[in-house]
Amino acid sequence: MKSTFLRTLVRSILVPICAFIARAQEAPRDIPIVVADEVTISKLPSINELPDLLTFADDTGVKSKADWKRRRKELIRQIEHYAYGHLPGRPNQLEVSDHLTGPIPNSIEGTEERLTLLIGSIAMRIAVYRPEGATGKLPVIIREEHALGHLEEVPQILERGYLFVEFAREDLDPDKPNTIGPAQRAYPKHDWGTLAVWAWGAMRVLDYLETRDDVDLTKVGITGHSRGGKVALLAGALDERFALVAPNGSGCGGAGCFRISEGKVETLDLITRSDRFGYWFHPRLRTFAGHEERLPFDQHALKALVAPRALICTDALGDTWANPVGNRATSTAANAVFEFLGAKHHNALHFREGQHDMTPADWKAILDFADWHFAKREPENRKRFFQLTLGANPSNGVQFRKNRRQ
């Protein structure tokens, strides 16, 4: 009887200790996660500068690539908790239905496939555009759309020898507030906002591409414009299967910056208002409006999570609402991680004249950068991709002024 009691006592002590040690070895370092309200966020440190990407939350430094892997998990945990919500994992099954093949409309050379991905109770439509006469495994560019069939950019992409894939993001979650979309109904225990839902959809497209024999899975890129650019950056940050990430005009909650801005820009406060786009994010993010310095991360963290893969953030100088100054600042800050991982030339920016749009000039920059990294075709002027300082702009010599919101 006494022996049984001792065994039980030892087991009750040692088993929890061993489990704790195992979790400590697997989990990222402790992060100060607090319930976000104006009282409790005061428990988070005030950081007016962009937080150091190569320092753990416990103030120890990242010294090795193994350390970075742990730091990466730490950053993802912060980003999901405070900004976007938690995404479900990869589903066990993915089926294809309604698969139709035919010529691309508007006399564009190539083949169009329309199909529906069935992810449990979720049905998401995608379109695949294939270059005429292409053989072997091809590189791919993925883009989300509110509806399929945006063909203006297709010729430029197919001429480069890429497969181009669109997916209908609103099949997962409609782009409107106070709405529970099919993906959120299918995963009711997850607290994800709409941007996270759409990013998860991009990952499911990649799952499908893994089943095809004409795709080079080492050369899959993702892009998008405006809210789609936010989706591209988030998906690329979280899923390391994307070899190229190219957000365009993505602004606040994308490639922009919460802490650094110039002129009339979209701020954390504006974008998270209930009458605007608060539903894109987790409700916790709204609490940091006016307290941006309390956020333990900024958008440079998402860019760093792409490293050492290829990242190009394209923007328009006249699109001040999208905060091109903040875009430059976050890319500059993320460069520390790219350099640490030996990928200095994988972190790029491209600015053009103009306003909020995704133009042929943006596509050319993205495809030139993709060709360089996927096909080793070096662009005519590679220096245009690496103007990462807050000094003179490469396009027209405009001086950018750094303005931190206190």
Percent of the chain whose pLDDT exceeds 70: 85
> Higher confidence at residue 61 or residue 147?
61
Q: Which of 27-31, 86-90, 373-377 has the lowest mean pLDDT?
A: 27-31
Give dist(CA 324, CA 87) in Å, integer.
28
Say if residue 391's pLDDT is above 80: no
72-87 burial code (b ≥16 CB/10 A, e <16): bebbbbbbbbbbbbeb
Say if residue 188's pLDDT is above 60: yes
Cβ-based neighbour number of residue 126 at 10 Å: 24
Q: Which residue carries 């993320």 as its tokens?
A: 334
Phi, psi of 51 (to 5 degrees): -55, 145
CATH number among 3.40.50.1820, 1.20.1640.10, 3.40.50.300, 3.40.30.10, domain 95-385? 3.40.50.1820
Give the pLDDT of residue 350: 94
Q: Which of 72, 155, 373 is nearest to 245 (CA)?
A: 373
What average pLDDT does range 224-238 have in this prediction?
Answer: 98
308 prior amide bond cis, ω within 30:
yes
CB 222 within 8 A of CB 142: yes
What average pLDDT does range 226-252 have in this prediction?
Answer: 98
What average pLDDT does range 329-334 have in this prediction?
Answer: 95
Q: Is 64 exposed, middle or buried (0-12, 13-18, 19+ CB in 10 A)?
A: exposed
The CA distances from residue 182 to 40, 123, 188, in Å, are 33, 8, 10
pTM over 0.85: yes
Span 124-177, pLDDT tens digits: 999 999 999 999 999 999 999 888 887 889 999 999 999 999 999 999 999 999
Backbone region of residue 159 per phi and psi (left: phi > 0; alpha: psi in -120 to 50; beta: other values): alpha
Mean pLDDT of the chain: 87
**Beta strands 95-104; 108-119: pairing state:** antiparallel
Give the pLDDT of residue 96: 97
**Beta strands 310-316; 347-352: pairing state:** parallel
Say if residue 390's pLDDT is above 80: no
Counted residue by residue, the chain has a size of 406
**Beta strands 347-352; 138-145: pairing state:** unpaired
CB 200 within 8 A of CB 183: yes
Say if residue 31's pLDDT is above 80: no
Say if residue 97's pLDDT is above 60: yes
Which band of pLDDT confidence, cut at 50, 70 and 90, is reported for residue 2?
Answer: very low
Say if residue 240's pLDDT is above 70: yes
Give the pLDDT of residue 151: 86
Give the pLDDT of residue 23: 32
What average pLDDT does range 351-376 have in this prediction?
Answer: 95
Segments making up each domain of the chain, as ranges: 95-385
Which band of pLDDT confidence, cut at 50, 70 and 90, is reported for residue 229?
Answer: very high
Give the pLDDT of residue 380: 80
Span 285-305, pLDDT tens digits: 999 999 999 999 999 999 999
Q: Which of 406, 247, 307 is nearest to 75 (CA)?
A: 307
Say if residue 234's pLDDT is above 70: yes
Q: Which of 304, 312, 371 is nearest to 338 (CA)?
A: 304
CB 82 within 8 A of CB 268: no
Give the pLDDT of residue 324: 94
**Beta strands 215-225; 347-352: pairing state:** unpaired
CB 222 within 8 A of CB 235: yes
